[in-house]
Amino acid sequence: MKTHSNLLILLTALLFHCCKEGISQPNGLRTDLMRNADYVGLMGKKQNVLLDDKVLDHGGYEIAKVQTQKPLFSWVLDNRTLKSIAFQLLVSSDREGLSKNIGDLWDSGKILSQKSSTYYQGLALQKNKVYYWKVRYWENDQKISEYSDPKAFVTDLNFKTEKFSQEPLMTKDEFPVVKKKSEGNYFLDFKKAAFAKLKIQLTSPKEDSILVLVGEMKKKNTLTVDAEAGRNIRYYKTRIKLKPGTHWYEVIWPENTKRSRNRFMIKMPDYIGEVYPFRYVEVKAYSGELKSEQIVRSVVNYTFDESASSFDSSDEVLNKVWDFCKYSMKATSFCGYYVDGDRERIPYEADAFINQLSHYAVDAEYGIARGSMKHLLFNPTWPTEWTLYNILMAWYDYLYTGDDRFIAKYYDELKIKTLMDLSDETDLISTLTGKQTPRFFERLHKNHWGKNNNLRDIVDWPQAQPPGGFDNLDHFTGTEKEYPGENDGYVYQTYNAVVNALYYGTLTIMEKIALDLNKKEDVFLFQNQAEKIKKAFISTFQDKTNGLINDGEETDHKSQHANMFALTFGLVPEKDIESVVNFIKQKNMSCSVYGSQILLEGLFDHGGDQHAIGLMAAKTERSWYNMIRYGSTITMEAWDKRYKPNLDLNHAWGGAPSNIIVRKMMGVEPLTPGAQNIKIHPKIGDLDFVSLKTSFITGAVEVECRQTKNKYTLNIKIPGGVKADIKIPASKGRKKLFINGIASNHKPNKDYYHLKKFPAGVSLLEVK
């Protein structure tokens, strides 16, 4: 186990108290949310070149370019800093001038603020010009940090295109394990699937040819790439013609004509070129010897900090699931957008929402989310619920970054995405009451869909058996759920509980957005509409005899989906929560990998944490472990091929545990925009030990929980200037709270101790 030593943490805490006289320089500088604004690359490879105006003159480099004249600057404080009271930021046109503390573009002076971010307020920035900045801060009038190391950035020539700042894609060369099957025949294993390019160095005394077979799967218990794994499970066979001598040969990937005809497909940039998802390679009929260093897989992904997160626990299956989901976030970032996988390479709102939360959990990177959000606002897809996820994505972007530019710029678009246009005298929304008009499609930017403009309720996917059905329905349904498809037999009506639960959730979020943007009239509008729909929802969908939620207004069918959406979005009266939770638990995993996000959130928020942990660590067929057992190294589109025969093996919407473990099981989330205030509310069920590291824009948070019958230990590390709201479980066998070895006067509140505004630094909390 990747455990921390309690003694080491105690010593660190003591060192923290003894060495408070000095504070270190700020670190983790970001320019317009980009960690690597000074990145210089060539064909995806980072170059050992400093970003300056000479680099711009070169013209051939890939550079991370700022898309605004007023970028957001942010930084991380020394974690010994309880809070900052002020900062000073310098921006210069000259690196040497900045080294002399000259900010010829902007010298902010001493600005009184506890924030560790600010928007640029200096002289106008020129396009395609390199600038340099650094910052220092005061903890109090006597304690001032050194200036940070400088950070360079460049403004884009075309920043008026309303893009958001993003970094270029990067490549990394990897080499396989090589096994010789027989004379001239080799099997190569790269251990994990990835979107990549492939080059092979081959030697031939004459003109010749070899066969190369590439794929995501291999046949079980063989050294053979599986050519029949599935129509969207990638397999490619090609012949390479050899020239006399030793040469490098690049495998040219096949064109996916069906995909390329779709105007919404995200294309790979020219400096990278086409990629293909694969893990295994076979080389056949090669007369020479093949060694690992002769086969190069150039893996493509967006910038990813492996050290930004880690997880370990006393449950080895849960650990494998975490690693599996974390890697999936990295692997599926290959095109710089949140896409549905390799089959279509199209952003979808619900996919992007789960991808966003999971990406934030494993790496504090926000550029892909921003680009995907902007794309989806103006290129919507067909499901009703997917439209509503635009608002959730915008809110979490603001909550994690503290940057309100997206919600401010696209506020009117977000209002339309609430689908209030579909509300009628019932106060509910429906796609079947004649309100989907040409004007409605135009406002949603759906007029490009032609005859298929209409929104359609999805609930979950796939909804039922494939066209034509199966001779053996049991094969499709399995033994772990009652109904075919993934919506638990949902009975669709004119008014649907799932859609209206999500609608209510988005209204409550829009109320928060309007409040923070000082849209006073809209605060009342959203608040009033949310109250109305809550009343209408309970009146229309709740079964008064047992408190459960019906699917629609004229059915008494109760799906897991209707109940878990109502639970997660706050529509179940408190007196009925226990019965709803018990109903949901009895259904186990009757939803898809998408629905699991909502299911697990609801369980963790309402006392079902032990059951939720069990679902994440399950070895059933409908589990993440089954994806691993199936042979995939990236989260799949469905639990198993039987549930979606056309699934692909690289769908990030299957990665819910990575964000659920962080946000719900360990309870680590921002409480205020920009993560200056966070919460740490662990709910680890019966696990003996859990350790987590996750990162925010304000710095890394580390949490370790250990529990025995008579003792609960919580080791925490909180970034500088950040305050935490902490809840520590209490029970009859644990009678007293100790903070860094000193008995506390705090009294438990029901089943937990509640510590508000807990300061930054390293601390040991014990209940014993």
Question: Using one digit for the tens of pLDDT, what is the confidence trace for 382-411?
Answer: 999 999 999 999 999 999 999 999 999 999
Binned at pLDDT 50, 70 and 90, residue 474 comes out as: low
Quick one: CA torsion of 532, 536, 537, 542, rounded to 10 degrees? 140
- Give me the residue spans of the domains in the chain: 22-161, 170-301, 306-313+334-665, 677-767
pLDDT at 11 over 60: no
> What is the torsional sign of CA 110, 113, 115, 121?
negative
The class (CATH top level) of 170-301 is mainly beta
Quick one: average pLDDT of 657-669? Answer: 98
Backbone angles phi, psi at 508, to 5 degrees: -65, -35
Question: Using one digit for the tens of pLDDT, what is the confidence trace for 580-626?
Answer: 999 999 999 999 999 999 999 999 999 999 999 999 999 999 999 99
Report yes or no: 333 and 304 within 8 Å, Cβ to Cβ. yes
Neighbour tally for 39: CB within 10 Å: 22
pLDDT at 75 over 70: yes
% pLDDT > 90, the chain: 87
Report yes or no: 433 and 423 within 8 Å, Cβ to Cβ. no
CA distances from 691 to 128, 611, 616, 716 (A): 45, 20, 16, 10
Only one residue has tokens 């006399």, namely: 244
CA-to-CA distance for 558 and 489, rounded, in angstroms? 9
Model's pTM, two decimal places?
A: 0.95
Question: Using one digit for the tens of pLDDT, what is the confidence trace for 542-555?
Answer: 999 999 999 999 99
Element containing residue 119 per DSSP (H, E) = strand 117-119
Element containing residue 546 per DSSP (H, E) = none
- Record the tokens describing residue 709, joined without a space: 């019958």
- Record the tokens describing residue 69, joined without a space: 């004249």
pLDDT, residue 261, reads 87
CA-to-CA distance for 75 and 86, rounded, in angstroms? 13
| Fold annotation for 306-313+334-665 | Glycosyltransferase (1.50.10)
Q: Output DSSP code: residue 135.
A: E
pLDDT, residue 18, reads 38
CATH of 677-767, one of 1.20.140.10, 2.60.420.10, 2.40.50.140, 3.40.1550.10: 2.60.420.10
Question: Which region among 119-133, 465-479, 515-529 has the lowest average model confidence (pLDDT)?
Answer: 465-479
The class (CATH top level) of 22-161 is mainly beta
Question: Using one digit for the tens of pLDDT, what is the confidence trace for 161-186?
Answer: 567 899 999 999 999 999 999 999 99
Quick one: average pLDDT of 202-222? Answer: 97
Backbone angles phi, psi at 96, to 5 degrees: -65, -40
Question: Using one digit for the tens of pLDDT, what is the confidence trace for 82-125?
Answer: 999 999 999 999 999 999 999 999 999 999 999 999 999 999 99
- Record the tokens describing residue 748, joined without a space: 């438990």
pLDDT, residue 577, reads 98
Question: Using one digit for the tens of pLDDT, what is the confidence trace for 314-339?
Answer: 999 999 999 999 999 999 999 999 99
Binned at pLDDT 50, 70 and 90, residue 21 comes out as: low
Q: Which residue type sits at 494?
A: T
CA distances from 19 to 26, 184, 237, 719 (A): 17, 65, 63, 16
pLDDT, residue 20, reads 43
Binned at pLDDT 50, 70 and 90, residue 22 comes out as: low
Binned at pLDDT 50, 70 and 90, residue 447 comes out as: confident
Binned at pLDDT 50, 70 and 90, residue 10 comes out as: very low
Average pLDDT, the chain: 93
- Record the tokens describing residue 669, joined without a space: 């989330």
pLDDT at 1 over 70: no
Q: Output DSSP code: residue 500.
A: H
Per this entry, what is the length of the chain? Answer: 768
pLDDT, residue 749, reads 84
- Record the tokens describing residue 407, joined without a space: 């919600």
